[in-house]
Structure 1
């Protein structure tokens, strides 16, 4: 007779249940990152990130690609979070640091520097000396997706990593800037999972949209602000300008109680 009640083995990194199992058990950012970078739960994304690493662009031919899930970047006690979409195949997937090494990241880090939240206006690789002051940059999908479009199933599979990250940030987190509609749609349920009360109906995304999630027994009030994503298309067409992004970040920094390091 087969034994009942036997302990099941934890899921392997290539199984769909891997993120949910390990993310919920992480006691700190280092442990979260250690499990996250091993994740292979989305076969399409694994193939794409590794294919990009095996076939670098000509400009990066002499560089070894990270080609793994890209963790969040910034202090573990950040008062402000910036949430994007996913790493770029030849950006964060190359450098191993979120929003680093592509045009979108250039635009974002220049704005963060202008507001006084970053030590320098450029981000080129993991060891370039860039520091973020009171702000953490992350995304709902941690692997580079084909055509920058994760599937709903991939977003759902990856969701436990972001939930765990926000639960770890929660004691000091006061504001979030969400870059783009995809991030907005992905983040709101994550905030609910992490202990904040969400309004009904949930507000639609838009540049400059802002809402305040009230304090609960577990959490302080949280200010959530929307901004257009600094994609090449949005910047090229003028839909998002540097002044527009700086304005949102400045407002978010004030709500988070951050003054920035620059004077």
Structure 2
């Protein structure tokens, strides 16, 4: 766990900093320094101090977790926030928790990831044409960020999508929270959301026009691969693969050799 700690930052740190960064590498580095939300800072550091018994030998990341994937990805996947003992521990989004186990296995099955597991930064995992990010970059208590925390964090997501924009064709949105969080970001970026406002659902699809002559953007909704959704079969591995494959098809990602039979 990083030992250099400030007490706080002004809430406008993301809004002041995000527009100035010129690359995803710079953005990821800036995100990791953010301390704009006192409740989230306290929670992520408390989780790293207390730890889970299974991870007592880990040095937790305990900072905001940036996005993961190439800068020229035509497909983005947007989730919710890091898990306290997942991304907050490993320093990589959807890594080291059951949600990540489900997501990366599905990406591997359809040829968009180099391996089916994600355990830690530096484990060799690569994504092909896919960038994964979140509206809230710190682990929230009970996996529930407040609307204020979501809005404070919004400039990071807005700048990330802006930097991805030259290649971006599709966003797969995992969960209703991300669906709601994306709407103002996309509108501010110039894409036109249809009226009435599109309703979230698994498999929902929306095409957003860009009046400035830019490339239109597809949004595809999917249930979040949370442990609860997967254990109750609200979302199955096959359902998750299908929505990700739909996103890949719309993004015109090239087919890759199949990695064997999919997990049930």
TM-score, L = length of structure 2: 0.93
Instruction: Find 2:234's aligned residue among 228, 239, 261.
Output: 239
Alignment of 1:149-188 (within 5 A): 149-188=144-183
Alignment of 1:12-27 (within 5 A): 14-27=9-22
Runs of 4+ in 1 over 3 A off after TM superposition: none
CA displacement 1:201-232 (0-9 Å, x = unmatched):
21111111001111332631111000011011
Contact 1:113-1:121 within 8 A present in 2 as well: yes
Instruction: Find 2:129's aligned residue among 128, 134, 137.
Output: 134
Q: Cα RMSD over matched residues?
A: 1.2
2:106 aligns with 111
Contact 1:133-1:260 within 8 A present in 2 as well: no
- Single out whichever of 125-134 and 207-216 deviates more from structure 2: 207-216
Give the drift of 1:33. Answer: 1.3
Instruction: Find 1:34's aligned residue among 29, 32, 39.
Output: 29
Measure the CA separation in 2 of the matches of 1:228 and 1:28: 30
Contact 2:208-2:216 within 8 A present in 1 as well: yes
CA displacement 1:35-85 (0-9 Å, x = unmatched):
111100000000000001111111111110000000000001100000000
Give the drift of 1:199. Answer: 1.4
Which structure would you say has the larger Rg?
1
Asked if 1:211 is matched to 2:171, the reply is no
Contact 2:170-2:219 within 8 A present in 1 as well: yes
Instruction: Find 1:74's aligned residue among 69, 72, 92.
Output: 69
Give the drift of 1:197. Answer: 1.3
- Structure 1: runs of 5 or more not aligned: 1-11
Measure the CA separation in 1 of the matches of 2:141 and 2:255: 36
CA displacement 1:220-257 (0-9 Å, x = unmatched):
11110000110111111111001111111111101001
2:244 aligns with 249
1:85 aligns with 80
Give the drift of 1:200. Answer: 2.1
Instruction: Find 1:193's aligned residue among 185, 188, 191.
Output: 188
SS at match of 2:20: coil
TM-score, L = length of structure 1: 0.93
